[in-house]
Structure 1
Amino acid sequence: MITNRSMPPGIIIPELAYPDVLEAAAWLCRVLGFRERLRIADHRVQLTCEGCSIVVTELPDDAQAIDHAHAVMVHVTDVDRHHAHASAAGARVLNAPTDYPYGERQYSLEDIGGHRWKFSQSIADVDPIEWGGTPMTDTP
């Protein structure tokens, strides 16, 4: 596989559209702990955080309201610290940090563009069968 320095790190890289790309990138860095990796004029910014990446893109002028049927999940090392920072910075928290039977502690928020974010920290190694999951196997 070729490594391309123009591409942000990660396998899954969400692209989220905002009316003001630079304002959104600054907010995501200040409130959620992202770091700006690459800026392409004022219409695209690559951000990284704890090994993951997102790309902030320009929302087209004719775009409809943002659909809340999506969210971006980010795995962090300390969800409580992340939540405290985001809350103190004025984030609109939707769900406070909560422990789940599948071994994750998570909280969620909505950013200034209406995008939903879920932050997750592994707190236990749990067999998916224990909480009703169905492990899938790879088939050739």
Structure 2
Amino acid sequence: MSSHPSLIPCLRYRDAPAAIEWLCSTFGFRRQLLVDDGHGGIAHAQLCLPDGSAMLMLAPAVDNAYGRLMRSPSELGGCTQSLYLVVSDIEALYRRALAAGADMLIDIRDADYGGQGFTCRDPEGHVWSFGTYNPWH
């Protein structure tokens, strides 16, 4: 069995380059792969956490076969899913998210099931939850 995650979320963003920059500077992702669309834009991106514990794929919200199947939250007028990421330093991440202008939906708090966490929306409306609770341990 691979030590890499086998479930990889895929998100669409209207401004993929700006989203990549925001996700890297705010949530700590690193660029693993950027695929040029042939016109100076991004066709596909893979972002990873430095420890290799998580990967996120993203693409621009464009009108193509895949884009018609998967819409961004701003196109839908809401979100149909959210992401949860286990982190060790929840307070530092919370401060970075606030400083980066994340729309805080649930402020940092103790969770009933253990640990601490918070939930925010990124600049294009995707909902992210972060917490110290690790369901694997």
Runs of 4+ in 1 over 6 A off after TM superposition: none
Match of 2:56 in 1: 54
Unaligned runs of 5+ in 1: 4-8, 127-140
Aligned-residue offset at 1:101 = 2.1
Aligned-residue offset at 1:80 = 1.0
Q: TM-score, normalised by structure 2?
A: 0.76
Unaligned runs of 5+ in 2: 37-41
Match of 2:102 in 1: 91
Q: Which has the larger radius of gyration?
A: 1
**What does residue range 15-26 of structure 1 map to in structure 2 within 5 Å?**
15-26=10-21
Q: 2:82 aligns with which of 45, 53, 71?
A: 71
Say which structure is richer in helix: 2
Q: 1:111 aligns with which of 90, 103, 122?
A: 122
Question: How far apart in 1 are the matches of 2:127 and 2:14?
Answer: 16
Match of 1:80 in 2: 91
Q: TM-score, normalised by structure 1?
A: 0.75
Residue 33 of structure 2 aligns to a residue whose secondary structure is: strand
Contact 1:66–1:115 (CA under 8 A) maintained in structure 2: no
Residue 112 of structure 1 aligns to a residue whose secondary structure is: coil
Question: How far apart in 2 are the matches of 1:79 and 1:40?
Answer: 31
CA-based RMSD of the aligned residues comes to 2.3
Aligned length: 119
Say yes or no: does 1:44 pair with 2:44: yes
